[in-house]
Chain A
Amino acid sequence: MGKTYNILMAGVGGQGVLVASETLALAAIAEGLEAKQSEVHGVAQRGGSVVSHVRFGDRVNSPLIRCGEVDLLYASERLEALRYAHYVKPGGTFVMDDRAIKPIHIAEGPEPPYPDKVPEFLRGKGYDVIVVPALQTAVELGDQRCANIALLGALSSRLPLGEKSWTAAIEKRMKPKILELNQRAFAAGRNLAVPVIG
Chain B
Amino acid sequence: MRELMSGNEAIARGAWEAGVHYATGYPGTPSTEILENIAHYDDIDSDWSSNEKVAFDIGIGVSLAGKRALVTMKHVGLNVAADSFMVFPYSGCNGGFVVISADDPGMHSSQNEQDNRYFAKFGKVPMLEPASPQEAKDFVPLAFELSERFDTPVLLRTTTRISHAKGAVELGERRAVEPRTYETDIHRFLVPPFARSRRPTVEERLVQLLEFSESFELNRVEEGDPKIGVISSGVAYQYAREVLPDATYLRLTMAFPFPAEKARAFCERFDVVHIIEEGEPFIEEQLRIHGITNIVGKEKIPLMGELNPEIIAHAIEGTPIPKGFGEEISIPARPPMFCLGCPHRGVFYVLKKMMNQDVVAMGDIGCYTLGGLPPYSSLQTCFSMGASVGTAVGFAKGITDEVGPRSVGVIGDGTFLHGGIPGLIDMVYKKSPATLVICDNSTTGMTGQQEHAGTGKALSGEEAPKVDLLQLVKSIGVEFVRTVDPYDLKLLRKTMKEAVKHQGPSVVITEHACLMLPAERAVKRDPIQFEAEDCNKCKLCDDLGCPAIEWSDDAGPIIDEIRCVGCEMCVELCNPNALHGPSPAGA
Inter-chain contact A82/B325, CB cutoff 8 Å: yes
CB interface residues, A 5-43, toward B, < 8 Å: 12-14, 22, 25-26, 29, 34-43
How distant is A59 from chain B, measured CB to nearest CB, in Å?
10
B196 at the interface (CB under 8 A from A): no
A159 at the interface (CB under 8 A from B): no
Q: Contacting A61 at CB < 8 Å: which of B30, B164, B242, B331?
A: B242
Question: With A and B bound together, what is the CA distance between A87 and B241 in angstroms?
Answer: 19
Inter-chain contact A105/B332, CB cutoff 8 Å: yes
Q: Contacting B322 at CB < 8 Å: which of A12, A87, A115, A121?
A: A87
Inter-chain contact A47/B330, CB cutoff 8 Å: no
| Residues of A contacting B241 in the complex (Cβ-Cβ under 8 angstroms) | 61-62
B530 at the interface (CB under 8 A from A): no
| Residues of B contacting A14 in the complex (Cβ-Cβ under 8 angstroms) | 339
| Residues of A contacting B330 in the complex (Cβ-Cβ under 8 angstroms) | 112-115
B523 at the interface (CB under 8 A from A): no
Task: Map CB proximity to B onto A95-139 as digits: 1 under 8 Å, 0 otherwise.
Answer: 000000011111100011111001001000100000000010000
Inter-chain contact B313/A103, CB cutoff 8 Å: no
Q: Which chain A residue shows the least CB distance to B377?
A: A106
Q: A25-B4, A37-B165 are in contact. Are A121 and B336 (CB under 8 A)?
A: no
| Residues of B contacting A63 in the complex (Cβ-Cβ under 8 angstroms) | 161, 165, 167, 235, 238
Q: Contacting A104 at CB < 8 Å: which of B160, B165, B324, B375?
A: B375
Q: A112-B332, A113-B330, A144-B562 are in contact. Are A38 and B2 (CB under 8 A)?
A: no
A49 at the interface (CB under 8 A from B): yes
CB interface residues, B 322-338, toward A, < 8 Å: 322-325, 328-338
Q: Give the dominant DSSP class at A's interface.
A: loop
Inter-chain contact A103/B332, CB cutoff 8 Å: yes
A73 at the interface (CB under 8 A from B): no
Q: A40-B109, A104-B545, A106-B375 are in contact. Are A64 and B4 (CB under 8 A)?
A: no
A45 at the interface (CB under 8 A from B): yes
Inter-chain contact B331/A83, CB cutoff 8 Å: yes
B86 at the interface (CB under 8 A from A): no
Number of contacting residues on A, CB 8 A? 55
| Residues of B contacting A40 in the complex (Cβ-Cβ under 8 angstroms) | 108-109, 160, 164
Q: Give the dominant DSSP class at B's interface.
A: loop
Question: With A and B bound together, what is the CA distance between A62 and B167 in angstroms?
Answer: 11
Inter-chain contact B310/A66, CB cutoff 8 Å: yes
Task: Map CB proximity to A onto B227-266 as digits: 1 under 8 Å, 0 otherwise.
Answer: 0000000010011011100000000000000000000000
B308 at the interface (CB under 8 A from A): yes
| Residues of A contacting B336 in the complex (Cβ-Cβ under 8 angstroms) | 13, 43-48
Question: With A and B bound together, what is the CA distance between A87 and B308 in angstroms?
Answer: 13
B218 at the interface (CB under 8 A from A): no
Inter-chain contact B324/A83, CB cutoff 8 Å: yes
How distant is B450 from chain A, measured CB to nearest CB, in Å?
13
| Residues of A contacting B447 in the complex (Cβ-Cβ under 8 angstroms) | 42
CB interface residues, B 207-243, toward A, < 8 Å: 235, 238-239, 241-243
Question: With A and B bound together, what is the CA distance between A80 and B331 in angstroms?
Answer: 9
Inter-chain contact A104/B29, CB cutoff 8 Å: no
| Residues of B contacting A80 in the complex (Cβ-Cβ under 8 angstroms) | 334
| Residues of A contacting B108 in the complex (Cβ-Cβ under 8 angstroms) | 40-44
Q: Which chain B residue shows the least CB distance to A118?
A: B329
| Residues of B contacting A26 in the complex (Cβ-Cβ under 8 angstroms) | 4
Inter-chain contact B332/A111, CB cutoff 8 Å: yes
Q: Contacting A62 at CB < 8 Å: which of B168, B238, B325, B448?
A: B238
Q: A61-B241, A112-B332 are in contact. Are A66 and B309 (CB under 8 A)?
A: yes
Q: Contacting B337 at CB < 8 Å: which of A22, A48, A83, A112?
A: A48
Inter-chain contact B2/A106, CB cutoff 8 Å: no
How distant is B251 from chain A, measured CB to nearest CB, in Å?
12
How distant is B146 from chain A, measured CB to nearest CB, in Å?
26
| Residues of A contacting B324 in the complex (Cβ-Cβ under 8 angstroms) | 83, 85-86
How distant is A28 from chain B, measured CB to nearest CB, in Å?
9
Inter-chain contact A64/B109, CB cutoff 8 Å: no
B374 at the interface (CB under 8 A from A): yes
| Residues of B contacting A144 in the complex (Cβ-Cβ under 8 angstroms) | 562
B550 at the interface (CB under 8 A from A): yes
| Residues of B contacting A67 in the complex (Cβ-Cβ under 8 angstroms) | 308-310, 321-322
B281 at the interface (CB under 8 A from A): no
CB interface residues, B 148-199, toward A, < 8 Å: 160-161, 164-168
Q: A37-B165, A144-B562 are in contact. Are A115 and B109 (CB under 8 A)?
A: no
Inter-chain contact A42/B446, CB cutoff 8 Å: yes
| Residues of B contacting A91 in the complex (Cβ-Cβ under 8 angstroms) | none
Question: With A and B bound together, what is the CA distance between A45 and B370 in angstroms?
Answer: 13
Inter-chain contact B332/A47, CB cutoff 8 Å: no
| Residues of A contacting B168 in the complex (Cβ-Cβ under 8 angstroms) | 29, 34-35
Inter-chain contact B337/A46, CB cutoff 8 Å: yes
Task: Map CB proximity to A onto B539-557 as digits: 1 under 8 Å, 0 otherwise.
Answer: 0000001010010000000
Inter-chain contact A121/B334, CB cutoff 8 Å: no
**B residues adjacent to A (C-beta < 8 A):** 2, 4, 29-30, 32-33, 108-109, 160-161, 164-168, 235, 238-239, 241-243, 308-310, 313, 321-325, 328-339, 367, 369-370, 373-375, 446-448, 545, 547, 550, 562
Interchain residue pairs with CB less than 8 A apart (15): A29-B2, A41-B164, A42-B446, A46-B339, A48-B334, A62-B241, A62-B308, A63-B161, A67-B321, A68-B322, A83-B324, A83-B331, A86-B325, A121-B325, A121-B329
Q: A40-B160, A46-B338, A68-B310 given; name 20 further pairs at CB < 8 Å.
A: A35-B4, A35-B167, A37-B165, A38-B165, A41-B108, A43-B336, A44-B336, A47-B337, A48-B335, A48-B337, A63-B165, A63-B238, A64-B309, A66-B310, A67-B321, A67-B322, A83-B331, A86-B322, A112-B331, A112-B332
**A residues adjacent to B (C-beta < 8 A):** 12-14, 22, 25-26, 29, 34-49, 60-68, 79-80, 82-83, 85-87, 102-107, 111-115, 118, 121, 125, 135, 144
